[in-house]
Amino acid sequence: MKRLHNAAMAVLGVGAIVLSACGNAATTTEGQPVSGGTLLTSFKDDLKTLDPAIGYDTDSWLIERAIYNGLLDYKGFTTQLQPDIAAAMPVVSPDGKTYTFKLRQGVKFSNGRTVTADDFKYSWERMLDPKTAGPMTSGPFWGSVHGAQDFFNGAATSVSGFKVIDASTIEIDLDTPNQSFLNIIAMPFGFVIPKEAVAAAGSDYAHKPVGTGPFVLDKWTPGQLIVLKKNPNYFGTKPYLDELDAQIGVTPEVGYLRLQNNQIDIVQPDVTIPSAQYIQLSANPSWKNRILKSPNVDIWYLAMNANMKPFDNKLVRQAFNYTVNKANQIKILNGRGVVNNGIQAPAMPGYVPNYNPLGLDANGQNIQKAKDLLKQAGYDASHPFPAQDLVYAKASADSDRLAASIQQDFQQVGITLNLKGLAFNAFLDITGKPNATALSYNGWFQDFPDPSDFIDPILSCAAANVTANGGNVAFFCDQAADKLADQARGDTNSAERLKLYQQFQDIIVTQDFPWVPMYSTVQTAVAAPRVHGFQIHPVWLFVATSIWVTGGAPSLAPASASASASASP
Amino acid sequence: MAGPRVSPWSPIWNRFREDRLAVGGAIFILLLVVLALLAPVLPIRDPNHGYYELLPANGAPLSPGGTFLLGSDPNGRDLLSRIIWGARISLFIGFVANGLALVVGVTVGALAGYLRGWFETILMRLTDIMMAFPVLLFSIAIISIIERGSVLVIVAVIALFYWTAVARIVRGQVLSLKEREFVEAGRALGGGPQHNLLHHILPHLVPIIIVYGTIGVATSISTESILSFIGIGVQAPTADWGKMVADGQDFMFLAPWLVIFPGLMILLTVLAFNLIGDGLRDALDPRARALFRGVIGGVVAGGAGLAGQRPGLDPDAEPT
């Protein structure tokens, strides 16, 4: 998943780090589950899409997950894969290149039709089809499927590596082994959709999704409301909730006020509690024990585009690596994070604890060294460093504060930064284009718990070779490092593989300096007292199927309007 | 027997100083101007430096009365310093933007009123067109296109919108003044438009310019605050009252001082300029009360309001 829009969104880790989360519940579970009722949640902005071939952001994924299924999913609230529409885990050939899946019997789309292997072939080819214009059509993750390249460049009309053996068996052939391919299958890009629904929706499938999931989309009023209803045809354990509503246009700041007035059940579950509300709720006896905390598998960093001046000078990029006060960033986030001098998140396999090859102080700085390097690079009082724009996504007041702190850090070494806070979509557009943004404040968190997810989509040459919507915002490409990543991707010896990824990290942090790695965060969330079974999922953040509600639902209408309505004769 | 020489300003001053509210406003603004001018030499902290090390581990802003007299913001910046430095921005933009608006407005209004004809038609329809634009929306558009956060652009945008009201009033005044005998006499003696405007009409416009100029500063300051509040005005880290209110919003319940102090400064400053303007109006021309009542009402009703929406501002009204 994905680029993050503020310091606040993230997926969680598998629990490798222990936080001082004194007595904080891991879940809001209590009592016996009851069926029925409506859960009301909120989003700040409207969803981009509910087409699983297109969506690559946490908001869209959150609802997509309730509507669709793929072959595999994560078991409960762990990061361990288990069969979902697949009847069992796949048979993998000894060379690691062929995966054979048997489908579970009797899985139906919400329109009543039974899912077959053909539906998967159709869905995946549509997802990779350049005409769909989704994020996977340039080759990340699925590029090694046999025949995918021919399909991308139009030499083939279908992907030969997706083989329908019979109605309930599908085989996938890869050109090169990929140790994280099962995780890739489990991403929403691998979800199954019915061909007839796409045909019926015409160009508007994004708003008329049909899937196999626990819920179906009942209503989507753009910019206002999304209503999901329980899917009667769902093959799995039925959800407790009858209905899942999401009100759109509610900023987190307003959302948490409404939560405390019982006007909302859960505020945008993929965004952590904003700092002001976090301090306030933590000090409130009736709320502080309801706050859920969990370490994120994420990394926040400044990306420096080495194709653009002045960052084409390696000494400049190196100097920047000694300048940022990372501890201040974490203080602004109320201590909900840890300083990170590497490129992998703490909970990721292969993470190196206390990684600090540059010998930075506890704040992550060495100001004198930064000044020396800038002087070496030719900048001094008579040749001042040119003022730079720091581009960041502005999702809450916290984003501005984080950027302001960095602005101050660079003042110390004589560099002026102008803060350019942008809306999330504008931010993604401008940072995803080559030679458009020199310096940006970015966050990345896991699509799946494998170190390759922190390299292939954001630090590989393939990811730099795009014309738009790129994830490699530093447009970093080092052939030698790329070879290590290629080697690691197919390596079956996991210890050796992790070592390769650590070598990759060393190249980034001590030789090339495309980033200033800063910190990894802790996710926090809170639900209204009537909500039970709410838990932060390590990959999906939010899972609706575990939740049940007691007592009356908050009214969608403003309180005064409903009062006057009930008072009228 | 000639009496002692009396300056023409002294009866005005005598009338003004009887207006306690106006004098209070003037003292407040005077103090503010002095503070703003002295900001660089006052023993106060750097307004843009975040003292993160003084903040508690959870990053909560410090309350007033401790290390920081008026408390700190969540970036560990001194609120007192920011308010004093913020005064510089607000006053600068208020005076300069309004000064520009006055120059343009008086010129356009005087020329249109004096020359009449097609010249007047073009100028006054241009004024009408400018007045028809929703100020905020148009400011957002202009600032986004030109340059966000540049003080000069903000000044230009504010001036661009507020010259129209001045132009209408001045035109109305000139229309009536040019029919007076002393202007006619000037014309009869061979004075051209330039001479008549500068030497005979302009001196009579001074009271209006002073009064509208004072009230316009209030309008300009509140407009600047609004622009900064919605994020297209003065940019970080520069201290600015409107921006401080915006930044402190989410901490409103936790740290109300973040919003109260800068909000109060905007309120008091705008109020003070209005009170001074009110007092000056009475002092300069006690007969003009009726004409200006609408102006004051419009300004108080909302800084971003359109002059054209101000009741009682009939451009063609003759002074009574």
CB contact under 8 A, A279 and B60: yes
Overall average pLDDT of the B11-22 stretch: 85
Nearest CB to B75 within list A276, A401, A421: A401
Q: Would you place residue A59 in the very low, low, confident or very high pLDDT band (cuts 50, 70, 90)?
A: confident
Digit-coded pLDDT (tens) for B133-164 = 888 888 888 888 887 778 889 999 999 988 99
Closest residue in chain B to residue A402, using alpha carbons only: B75
Q: Would you place residue A29 in the very low, low, confident or very high pLDDT band (cuts 50, 70, 90)?
A: low
Token digits of residue A202? 């015409």
Structural contact between residues A124 and A167, judged by C-beta atoms closer than 8 angstroms:
no
DSSP for A174-192 reads BSS--TTHHHHHHSGGG--
- For A9, list phi and psi in degrees, rounded to 5: -100, 140
Q: Would you place residue A541 in the very low, low, confident or very high pLDDT band (cuts 50, 70, 90)?
A: confident
Q: Would you place residue A3 in the very low, low, confident or very high pLDDT band (cuts 50, 70, 90)?
A: low
Shortest distance, CA A349 to any CA of chain B (angstroms): 29
Contact residues, chain B, for A400 at CB < 8 Å: 236, 247
Structural contact between residues B240 and B87, judged by C-beta atoms closer than 8 angstroms:
no
**Strand pairing report for A292-295 and A298-304:** unpaired
Nearest CB to A331 within list B52, B149, B236: B52
Is B305 a residue whose pLDDT tops 50? no
C-alpha B59/C-alpha B125 separation (Å) is 55
**CB neighbours of residue B267 within 10 Å:** 13
Beta bridge partners of A202: none
The pLDDT value recorded for residue A60 is 87
CA distances from B185 to B52, B149, B182, B205 (A): 71, 51, 5, 18
Closest residue in chain A to residue B49, using alpha carbons only: A408
Does B312 contact A at CB distance below 8 Å? no
SS3 assignment, position A423:
coil
Contact residues, chain B, for A20 at CB < 8 Å: none
The pLDDT value recorded for residue A133 is 79
CB contact under 8 A, B74 and A276: yes
Contact residues, chain B, for A423 at CB < 8 Å: none
Contact residues, chain B, for A279 at CB < 8 Å: 58-60, 254
Digit-coded pLDDT (tens) for A339-398 = 999 999 998 988 999 999 999 999 999 999 999 999 999 998 899 999 999 999 877 788
Is B2 a residue whose pLDDT tops 70? no
Structural contact between residues A521 and A333, judged by C-beta atoms closer than 8 angstroms:
yes
The pLDDT value recorded for residue A126 is 94
Does B63 contact A at CB distance below 8 Å? no
CB contact under 8 A, B52 and A405: yes
The enclosing H or E element of B219 equals: helix B202-229
The pLDDT value recorded for residue A21 is 31
DSSP A535: B
Most confidently modeled range among A204-218, B144-158, B301-315: A204-218
Instruction: Extract long-range pairs of B60-65: CB within 8 Å, 24+ residues apart.
Output: B60/A279, B60/A334, B60/B254, B60/B255, B61/B251, B61/B254, B61/B255, B61/B258, B63/B255, B63/B257, B64/B257
Token digits of residue B70? 């008026």
Which percentage of chain A shows pLDDT scores above 90?
A: 63
Please, which residues have CB within 8 angstroms of residue A391's CB and are 6 or more apart in sequence?
A420, A422, A427, A430, A431, A437, A439, A440, A441
Laid out side by side, the sheet with A266-267 consists of A215-221, A225-230, A243-248, A38-43, A266-267
Per the prediction, chain A carries an average pLDDT of 87
**Of A550, A430, A445, nearest to A3 (Cα)?**
A445
Contact residues, chain A, for B58 at CB < 8 Å: 279, 282, 334-335
Token digits of residue A518? 């800063």
Contact residues, chain A, for B149 at CB < 8 Å: 418
Q: Would you place residue A28 in the very low, low, confident or very high pLDDT band (cuts 50, 70, 90)?
A: low
Q: A72-82 burial by CB neighbour count: b if 16+ within 10 A, else e?
A: bbbeebebebe
Provide residues of A within 8 Å CB-CB of chain B: 253, 274-277, 279-280, 282, 325, 327-328, 331-335, 396-397, 400-401, 403-405, 407-408, 418-419, 421
Is A399 a residue whose pLDDT tops 60? yes
Closest residue in chain A to residue B249, using alpha carbons only: A397
Closest residue in chain B to residue A281, using alpha carbons only: B254
